[in-house]
Amino acid sequence: MIEMTPAARERLDNYLQRMRSELRGTRAVVADEVEQSVREHIEIALADAHAPVGATEVIGVLDRLGPPERWLADEERPMWRRALDHVRSAPEDWRLAYLAFGLFLASIVFLPVGGILLIIPAMIVSRAYIELSRDRGEPLGARRWLVYPSIAIVLAFAVGLLIVGPPLPALAFAFQDDGFEQVLDIPHSRAGEVRFVLGLGSVLYGSWWIIAAGFCAAFLRPIRFVFAPLLDGVRRKHFAVLAAIGALVAAGGATLIYYRH
C-alpha cells in the first residue's frame, strides 16, 4: 500500500468509487477484477514517487487512465445505466417529464410494498411540468405520454371514490347488525328483501351523488386545476347531470322501499 497525502487518497477513493459505479452490472467484464488491475496499475505507476505521494502525482496517473465512464462501449453497459444516461443527456425540457414517468413506473413496480404512495409525487411533478409548458407556451406533444398516466390514475381513483363513495360502507354497516332489521322493517320474503336492499342502496347512492355533484360544482375551479388538462372540458352542467341522475336513482329507491311489502 502506497503512503499518500489525505488529498491524494481522497482523489483516488473518488476515482475508484466512480469506476465501481460505472462497471456495476456489466456482464461483459468482472468489475472486481478490473478494479484490482487498476489498483495494481496505480501502485506500479506511483512506485517511484516519494512518500507520501501527493495529489498532483495521483491526478497525473488517473488522468492517463482516463474517465471510467469512457472505458466501456455503449452496448456493454447495463440497460438501466444507458436509460439513466439517456435521461441525463436528454434535452432539459424532457427531464421533468422523464422523472414524472419514472415515479409513475416505480409506483406500479413497487405496488406490493406501498409503491402506490409514489403516485402522488408523480402526479405533482407531472402537474408542475404541464404548468411549466403552459407558461412557456409550448405544446406538450409526445411528452404527454410521460406526464398524463399518473394524473389519469389518480383521476380514475377519485372518480371511483365519487361513484362508490360512503354509501357502500353505510350499507354494509346497516345489514351487519340484526337490530336494524327491526328498525327498518325489512320484509321477510325474498322478493321483498331484494326490493328493500335495492331501494335503500338507490336512496343512499342517489343522495350521495347529489351531494358529490354539489360539492364538485362548488369547487370546480380547484378540481379542474388539480386534474388539468384532463378535466379542462368539464363544466358545471356535467355535475348538474350527475345530480339529476342521483335524484332519479334516489326517487326510484324511495319507491322501491315504499312498496317493499
Partner 1 sequence: MTQLRKGLLELAVLNTIAPAPLYGYDIVRRLSDVDHLVITEGTVYPILSRLKNSGLVETYIEESQEGPARKYYRLTARGRDDLYRMNQHWDSLHQAIGGLRKERKR
Smallest gap from Cβ 34 to partner 1, in A, equals 5
* Bridge partner residues of 4 (DSSP): 53
Say whether residue 83 binds partner 1 (CB under 8 A): no
Selected from 40, 85, 93, 138, the binder of partner 1 by CB under 8 A is 40
Which CB sits closer to partner 1, 29 or 111? 29
Say whether residue 68 binds partner 1 (CB under 8 A): yes
Which CB sits closer to partner 1, 68 or 149? 68
Which CB sits closer to partner 1, 66 or 137? 66
Determine the distance from the C-alpha atom of residue 20 to the mean position of all C-alpha atoms in its chain, rounded to a whole number: 30
Q: How far apart are CA 158 and CA 231, in angstroms?
A: 12
Distances (CA, A) of 63 to 12, 42, 43, 56, 66: 11, 11, 15, 10, 5
Of 168, 123, 127, 159, the residue nearest 238 (C-alpha): 159
Cis bond leading into 229, ω under 30°?
Answer: yes
Smallest gap from Cβ 35 to partner 1, in A, equals 9
Alpha-helix runs per DSSP H in 29-118 = 31-45, 55-65, 79-89, 92-109
Q: How far apart are CA 151 and CA 235, in angstroms?
A: 19
Q: How far apart are CA 261 and CA 257, in angstroms?
A: 8
Place of cell 409526445: 142
Smallest gap from Cβ 36 to partner 1, in A, equals 7
Q: How far apart are CA 199 and CA 195, in angstroms?
A: 6
Which CB sits closer to partner 1, 73 or 79? 73
Of 220, 224, 171, the residue nearest 199 (C-alpha): 171
Say whether residue 230 binds partner 1 (CB under 8 A): no
Q: Which stretch binds partner 1 (CB under 8 A): 33-41, 125-133, 144-152, 168-176?
A: 33-41
Which CB sits closer to partner 1, 4 or 34? 34
Say whether residue 21 binds partner 1 (CB under 8 A): no
Say whether residue 89 binds partner 1 (CB under 8 A): no
Say whether residue 41 binds partner 1 (CB under 8 A): yes
Say whether residue 37 binds partner 1 (CB under 8 A): yes
E strand or H helix that includes residue 251: helix 236-258
Say whether residue 38 binds partner 1 (CB under 8 A): yes
* Bridge partner residues of 53 (DSSP): 4
Which CB sits closer to partner 1, 12 or 243? 12
Of 82, 57, 68, the residue nearest 7 (C-alpha): 57
Q: Which stretch binds partner 1 (CB under 8 A): 67-75, 114-122, 140-148, 194-202?
A: 67-75
Smallest gap from Cβ 37 to partner 1, in A, equals 5
Say whether residue 253 binds partner 1 (CB under 8 A): no
Write out the residues near partner 1 by the rule CB under 8 A.
19, 23, 26, 28-30, 33-34, 36-38, 40-41, 43-45, 47, 64-68, 70-73, 76
